[in-house]
Structure 1
Amino acid sequence: MEALNLSTTSSIEQTSIEHKWRRIQSRLRAELGEDVFTSWFGRVELDSCDGRVVQVSVPTKFLRNWLQSHYSDKLLACCGTELNGVNRLEFRVRQPHLAPVEKKASPTASIAESTTPKAQTTPSSTVPLRVISTPVRDGRTGLEGFEGSPLDPRYTFQSFVVGSPNRLAHAAAFQVAESTPEQPLKYNPLYIHARVGMGKTHLLHAIAWEMKARNPNAKVLYLTAERFMYSFAEALQTRDAPAFKEKLRTIDLLIIDDMEFLQGRTFQQEFCHTLNSLIDGGKQVVVAADCAPLLLESFDARMRSRLSGGLVAEMSALDFDLRLKILQRRAAEKISLSRGFEVPGDVLEYLATQLTENGRELEGAITRLHATWQLTGEKVTVDAAENTIGDLIRSKEPKRVKIDDILRIVAKHYGVQRGDLLSSRRNQSIVRPRQIGMYLAKTLTSRSLPEIGRRFGGRDHTTVLHAIRKIESLKQADGVLKDELDSLSRMLKDGNV
């Protein structure tokens, strides 16, 4: 059989093969999940099919080797289902798609040049299997000779859904992105914190895309903490650390994601020096982490204080209204691509009620419904949705929090002994953690006040009640204490004890 090369096939043949390729994509999304699909298949392109052999291309050798080692059988199985007779899969590394302007670009260009406004506002579902579609540097930010972490073109301000839990962080991020060199920096550093799946990374990518669109000459560097550590370690090994440091300190905007993963005294000290140098030089720094800066226990007090010196914006848990808005937006994106696909309002409300953890599972639920509809033609109903996301609902059975766990984590967090919490000591350094432990026991367990009192050293229930009221009162006026309580509660609920 003559090979079908997508660049030379007729329009009818190409439409047919592209339709089958989209069905292969849908199968992969449904079987692997949205995160895995986006991470590893986001830049895979179908090149040709001769009836027996499917050839796909990827932008890097690393991605080719990873897919061959981990997902070759899965991809071949999906191809075999849609493309009858296919029994072999070949990967190749394609040449980068360079735009004509690339040759004229400044050697210090720090971020992939923006695509057209239409491409910038493209929602996630309209990018079939090419997550990075920008022509320069494959969607990565970086300085000359130093490559940053990849940016996802789906993550723009236009595609970000705003609600009361994230309104402050969104507004601050946009102000940072639209700032110009002539304006004084309002929030430096900007520190955004939230638990997983609340949209931190989306906002960071949006800042980078927006600033570069407004000021193409700006030197913007987006890094995960892991990438920062890897690059600095590599510079140390090659004895190029001074040049590495100097490059970092010449940028206009430094964005660091997953700050909590920056471990090791050497790496933290180097980042602290870079942070001080940039801020003192009037350059913008944006940081994201899963907790407030004062709760970054592995960092020294000076660095925690510096990170707290700008604006600290929390993205709190998604409320029902925001969850519903996210679902409506993601459903509209799918509907715009697939004629006949519909998600009734009662289904969206059902999903918003059942899926309360984060935005990723909301997007994943819509993707599952869309894939199921594509593969089976089944109409989307509440019953169908319940079957589709059944595993997500079953996994949400609340973990049982034990008072022993509360005692352990409170003692560790405040640097006291478990015995101190149970003792009769009245030092303020002991009393406050003890009161916090009682408060957590009341809010996270079903234990009665007398029982909590017995577990905290045989105290009377009135002592427990006083402690609860005291912490509730302090929490209203003390933002730091509120952050501490939220962080401790999350760790206990997640079982991180």
Structure 2
Amino acid sequence: MDGAAAAPVWERVQRRLRAELGEDVYASWFRCLELAGFAPPVVTLSVPTKFLRNWIQQHYLEKILAHFARENEAIARIAVVVRVAGLRPAPPRGERPAEALRPAAEPAAQPARASETAPRAEMHAPESDGQMGSPLDKRLALTSFQVGRSNIMAHAAAMQVVQARANELPVFNPLFIHAAVGLGKTHLLQGAAQAVEATGRRVLYLTAERFMYGFVASLKAQTAIAFKETLRGIDVLVIDDAQFLAGPKVQQEFCHTLNALIDAGKQVIVAADRAPSDLEGLEERVQSRLAGGLVVEIGALDEALRIKILESRIQVAKAHLPGFEVPPDVVAHVARMITTNGRDLEGAVNRLLAHATLTGGALDIAAAEEAIRDLVRHREPRRVKIEDIQRLVANHYNVTRADILSSRRTATVVRPRQIAMFLAKSLTLRSLPEIGRRFGGRDHTTVLHAVRKIEGMLSTDQELAGEIDHLKRMLQE
């Protein structure tokens, strides 16, 4: 099959991968994936680095093959190769790190080709042996970020970073933004990074995974000093998905980088899915450093903000289909039905667009309900934090949270402490050792004893059972 005939197949596979894996995963691992050959039973794909090739082979090869097989049953194997074009010859040892992780202000020598269906994320840091800044997607600009009650403070803090003058000491440093999946923290970070770059300052946007890989690769290549110097030579460092930072050496280097940049008056922005105190995988000194600046949460999208997001996505869709119109009552109905996150709202617009394009029928509320039915789901109980459990139980039983965390063993404290441990085990995914640590550094056997004690009492003490049910409902509302 020639290239012209294979291109539509590849585009459909890309769209399905994006829909199945989500925009963040797709942007991290598939933006640089290109179709290099189409000769069933083999399809050849190319990537710019060995690291990316190995990761895709280990984690996504079967998914890619399944999507290609839907297009052509003759396809039985996917080959992933490393592109030669655009790679620079390796410089002598000792000089390579200068290319290993360049700030985003220096554009790549050979940017990725744009997709015909959607603009591809530009690579704002060139690659060298797999080390690079994470890609910045031009679609994730601050101008397209919709502001509402749940994110207005985070947006204002990001704008303060963008509007700061060169050589001006940061007001909030580090700026830590946390939010659940799909609420816009990556959009805000990427938009801020691009806006800062437009002012002429040197900015580097990295996912935690890219930071870890760059550091480990520099250790293997014995170029760690140059890696450190490169990071410390920028004006603004943006780290996304900090919850994935793992390993004592990586966290130690991350902490050193934070200290060096902050002490030098450089801005650091970090994002994660939880507040610093809830990132149990991070060492205490890293948590403390992250919490030492401004910590801002992006909350759930309220209905007014969901309508704004839908209207914004509809305007973008009109660029592909000028006659595409969604009546205001339909927009409002979709906003009421889909309450989870921005990605589901974007998916809803895609389904409405597909309905208008493929059926040609009117977009009324009934048609919209049919189009988005797979996106409508019951709201999941909110994520419960151990700190919330401790505070609620303490208030309910008229003790303090400090009492629950203390070593006091009076009956007025022991029972609430055991109930709080039981609720922590029931309502969170934390392990017994983790729960024990969050309850004043207790051993996991203490937690296990408390859980079994309350479980045994629930079958005979109806009053206690009613109290715990009440506490559970309050925590999950």
Cα distance change of structure 1 residues 170 and 421 upon mapping to structure 2, 3 Å threshold? farther
Q: Does residue 342 of structure 1 match 2:325? A: yes
How far apart, CA to CA, are the structure 2 residues paired with 1:144 and 1:48? 23
Does the CA-based 8 Å contact 1:275-1:285 persist in structure 2? yes
Give the counterpart of 1:393 among 353, 370, 376: 376
**Pair 1:356-2:339 in alignment:** yes
Per-residue Cα deviation, 1:157-209 (whole angstroms, up to 9, x for no partner):
11211112111111211221232323222221111111111111111111211
Q: Does 1:424 align with 2:412?
A: yes
Q: Distance in 2 between matches of 1:141 and 1:296?
A: 31
- Structure 1 residues 286 and 87: alpha-carbon distance in aligned structure 2, compared to 1, 3 A threshold: closer
Q: Match of 2:321, as an amino acid?
A: S
**1:387-421 alpha-carbon deviations (Å, 9 max, x no partner):** 232233235465999xxx969x989x99969x999
The residue that corresponds to 2:104 in the other structure is 111
315, 321, 342: which one aligns with 2:298: 315
Residue 62 of structure 2 corresponds to 70
**Gap change, CA 1:42 and 1:109, over 3 Å in 2:** closer
- 1:269 paired residue number: 252
- The answer for the alignment partner of 1:234 in structure 2 is 217
Q: Which amino acid aligns with 1:284?
A: Q
CA distance in 2, matches of 1:183, 1:360: 36
Contact 1:27 1:371 in 2 (8 A): no
- Determine which of 179, 183, 186 is the counterpart of 1:201: 186
Q: 1:423 to 1:203 in 2, by over 3 A?
A: same
SS at match of 2:142: coil
Partner letter of residue 413 of structure 2?
R
Please tell me whether the aligned partners of residues 258 and 288 of structure 1 are also in contact (alpha carbons under 8 angstroms).
yes
Query: Which SS does the other structure have where 2:190 is aligned?
Result: helix
Alignment of 1:95-494 (within 5 A): 109-111=102-104, 128-132=117-121, 134=122, 138-140=123-125, 146-215=131-200, 218-394=201-377, 396=379, 423-425=411-413
Q: Could you list the per-position Cα deviations for residues 23-65 of structure 1 after superposition, in whole angstroms to 9, with x for gaps in the alignment?
A: 7766666677656665665455678999999987665566677
Cα drift, residue 5 of structure 1: 5.7
Q: Distance in 2 between matches of 1:184 and 1:345?
A: 46
For the residues of structure 1 that align with 2:264 and 2:236, how far apart are their CA atoms? 11
- Describe the superposition over 1:250-306 as per-residue Cα deviations: whole angstroms up to 9, x where unpaired: 222111111222233333222222211111111111111122223333444443332
Contact kept, 8 Å, 2:338 with 2:345, in 1: the verdict is yes
TM-score, normalization by structure 2? 0.68
**What displacement does 1:323 show?**
0.6
User: Deviation of residue 91 (structure 1)?
Assistant: 7.6
Q: State the TM-score, normalizing by the size of structure 1.
A: 0.65
Q: CA deviation at 1:319?
A: 0.6
Partner residue, 1:484: none
Q: Is the 8 A contact 2:16 2:67 kept in 1?
A: no
Q: CA deviation at 1:377?
A: 3.9
Aligned length: 418
Higher RCO, 1 or 2 (CA under 8 Å, sep at least 6)? 1
Deviation string for 1:54-94 (max 9, x for gaps)? 9876655666774893345455456569xxx9999998766
CA displacement at 1:149 relative to structure 2: 2.0
Kindly tell me: are residues 184 and 415 of structure 1, through their superposed partners in 2, closer, same or farther at Cα, counting changes over 3 Å? same
- Which residue identity is paired with 2:117? P
Question: Please, which runs of 5 or more residues in structure 2 have no aligned partner?
Answer: 88-97, 109-113, 395-400, 425-456
Distance 1:157 1:395, change over 3 A: same
* Structure 1 residues 52 and 263, CA gap change in structure 2 (3 angstroms): closer
Give the counterpart letter for 1:176 in structure 2. Answer: V
Q: 1:193 to 1:76 in 2, by over 3 A?
A: closer
Cα distance between partner residues in 2 of 1:74 and 1:398? 33
Identical columns (%):
44
What is the CA distance between 1:352 and its match in structure 2?
Answer: 0.8
Between 33-42 and 164-173, the greater mean CA deviation after superposition: 33-42
Match of 1:150, SS state, is coil
2:452 is aligned to none
Q: Which residue of 2 is the match for residue 443 of structure 1?
A: none
SS at match of 2:133: strand
Asked if the contact 2:306/2:342 (under 8 Å) is kept, the reply is yes
Distance 1:30-1:220 versus aligned 2 partners, 3 A rule: closer
Per-residue CA distance 1:403-442 (angstroms, 9 max, x = gap): xx969x989x99969x99994238xxx86x68989999xx
Q: Is the 8 A contact 1:220 1:253 kept in 2?
A: yes
CA–CA distance in 2 between the matches of 1:334 and 1:111? 29
* Alpha-carbon offset, residue 140 of structure 1: 3.9
Q: Deviations over 1:8-27 (max 9, x none)?
A: xxxxxxxx998898777666
Which residues of structure 1 form unaligned runs of 5+?
7-15, 99-105, 116-123, 441-453, 469-487
Residue type of the partner of 1:150? Answer: P
Return the alpha-carbon distance in structure 2 between the equivalents of residues 129 and 297 of structure 1.
Answer: 38
Contact 1:43 1:130 in 2 (8 A): no
Question: Using a 3 Å threshold, how does the CA distance of structure 1 residues 243 and 77 change in structure 2: closer, same or farther?
Answer: same
